[in-house]
Structures are given as structure tokens and as C-alpha cells.
Structure 1
Amino acid sequence: MTGLNREAVLDAAAALVRQHGPQALTMRKLAAELGTAVTSIYWHVGNRESLLEALVERTVRELGEIQPRGRTPQARTVSIARTLRRELRARPHLIAMVHERGLTERMFLSAQRALVREAHAAGLRGARAAEAVRAVQFSVIGHVLVERNRERAPLQYPGEPELWESDRETDDAALVRALATPPDAEKVFTATLRALVDGLLGVPDSPPQQGV
């Protein structure tokens, strides 16, 4: 492979880890993926442990590049949370490697700082701002963990749709139909996030209450 450099090696290594997990990352397999000699891999990134450390550092750095979007603190907070969820979902094995090396808090620090700026912009300070930041962060992480567990869980029988299709304890037919449908993780996350953010930061542009 011509033009091989450190970033190209890390890109290929990250792709292997994303697809098959850290255990699949060997120097020989990586060299084969890149069409080069094992000695060339060592030249660019050192041994396997050095390569794993470089992947962890890069993952930490990538999670620190979240750019909020939106005109209000609420909209920007939602955008940070959605991006964080997407980034965590895209690299579960790499995130696990970061966690195993005790760098989880460092990985989330930049996202926390972005959330702090929006909490301040919404008028929150001190413990209330910290509470809002952690509530959003933990909500994102919780949703990602639930989604991952559902994906890896064995087939359930009867599953949620079958259980609700046979339910006769409620007269809310629309509810039964909705719960008999497999959940849309994106919609659930968005609904939870917006309710959480509006509750913590306030609904943007809401009219003043009478008597306040």
C-alpha cells in the first residue's frame, strides 16, 4: 500500500475494532488489511499495546469534537445529546476500550463542558447547572446501553408485541396498538430528551405566567 502513514493505520485498526471487537485486532491481520508488512505497522504505531493506546486517545479526542447547533440553549443541548448518542452508538468496542483504561470521565469532559455552556446560557448556575448537565449525560448513556442490550439480547418469546396484543386489562386500544409495535428507538430518545431538556432548562420562548 503506497502512502501508508500513522493515520491510515489507525483508521484501519479502528475499522477492525468496530466490526469485530478488540480481540480481532492483531498486527498480522491489520497488515493484511492494509496490504503491507507487519514491520511497517510497527514502524508507524509501535507494538499492539501502543496501537490500542493510540486508538483510545483518538476516540477520546473524537468525542471532544461535538459542535452544538441551534438558536436556543435548549436546541443546542438537544443537538449535543443527539450527537453524543450517535457517536457512542457508532463505536461501542472503542468506547469499551476507553472505559477499560479508566478514561471514561476524560472522554466525556468535552461534552460536559459543551452542556455547561448551554446550561449557563439558559440561566442555570452552580448545583442546578451541574444537575442538568449530568441528567442529560446520564440519559444519553442510559439510552445507548438499553439499545445495545436490546440488540444483543436473545430472542424473546413471547416478545413485547405478542404480550400487548393479548392484553385485555386496558380499554385504551390505541395504547395497545402502539405498545404492540416494536419501539422506534430514535423517537423514544427524542421524546425523552426534549421532555428532559424542557424540564431542566425551561421551554424556549414560553409566555410569562400570570401573577409571577
Structure 2
Amino acid sequence: MQQLKSAVGMDYTKLRDLLSQKQWREADRETRRVMLAVSKRPEDGGLTHKNINDFPCEDLRTIDGLWVQYSNGRFGFSVQKEIYFNNGGQLDGKCPNNKVWYRLCEAAGWRVKGTWLYYDDLTFDTSAPRGHLPCITSWVMDLPVPPILWFVLWVLAGLIGGGIAGAILLALLWFVQWVILWMLTRFLRAIGILRFPIRSFWWKLPVGASIRRVCLVYASLFQRVTACGL
């Protein structure tokens, strides 16, 4: 029986119970909750590579051990690390080149035929590829970039290039393009083409940047897993 040790007094009973009952989606969400709590991050926040580097080994061993035990070795951070290393990844905490990163994501089933899966498209049962869970790609903190910041930069560019008239013109163009884009995203969501929340679309950096951030967090995680003897 896996011991539920924690360096910070975290209670892993619920995670153990969910995993023992094969409630994989709920267990994934509970894993997110406890890791954010251990890292002293808000529940609606996310993890950074610094959070991972400082994550207590006792807690990491408990979380990983529970996933490995109740999935019969199919899921867990140590399983993901093994896949990563076997596909050319280095355990140095640095994001690898795209070729290595994509190999991991495709082997774990997070990227299929060149397409990144949304969280709701993941497979929450043991028919999933080895290493599929837990999936921390949706837990990583994206740096917020409020639209107002881009608006200010846009207007300043107009002011510098064309004075007051240039600033007013670019401000109007900004407003029009965002209204059009907002209406377009609402329409695409209504017909089922877009499945991510509109709010996250407005407040986050481009997907490519987000993917690189996730890559860095995973690289840090695998380095930490190794340092903790897993």
C-alpha cells in the first residue's frame, strides 16, 4: 500500500480513493489541485518551472506512486519521464528541440497526427497510451497579456507614426477588428468548431508560446522526478 507522505501536510486520501476507483478524470483534476496547493498557487492559477523545481520530493513520490500503483504502471510522472528519456530527452531541465518534444507528446497521446488535443479529448481510461496521465499541459501558468496592453501599444505606434490623427485611426481599427474577431469566435463556438473558452482566447499568449512554456515545465518536472529518485 502506497504511503501518503507529505512534507507540507497535504492530504492525499482523496487522490488515492479516486485512483483506486479508476476515476481517472477526477484524479487528474485532484492531482492538479494538490500540486497547486503544495506549491502555494491559487486553484485558478497554474504551475511554473520554478514551482516544479521547488516541489517537495516526498509529495512528488506520493503522487507518482499512487498513479503508478493504481494504473498498473501505465500512468505517472516517472512513466512519462521514461518515455521522454527513451525518445532522446535530456534530464537537464531544459526544453528540448521540437523533434524530441513532439515524440513525447505523440507517444503519450497528447498530440495526434500533428494536432494538439484539447483537454476534453484526452482518454480517461487505461486504453489510453502509456504515460497519457496525469496531463499537466492544462495546469501550466500562462502569462496574462490583457488586451488593454496591446491596445495601448497599438495607439502609441499610431501616435508616433501619425500624431493624434494616426492614434485615433489605429484606435478605431483596433476596435473594429476585435469586434469582428469576437463575433467570429462566438459563431465558431456555436457551431462546434472551437472548443476552448473565449475568455482564455483573449487573455493568453499565442499557442506556440504556450506550448514552449508547457515544454519547459515538463522538462523541469522530469529533472525533478530524477532528483527525487523516481
What band does the TM-score fall into relative to the shorter chain?
A: under 0.3
TM-score in terms of structure 1 length? 0.28
Please state which structure has a larger fraction of its residues in helix. 1
Ranked by relative contact order (alpha carbons within 8 Å, sequence separation 6 or more), the top structure is: 2
Which has more radius of gyration?
A: 1
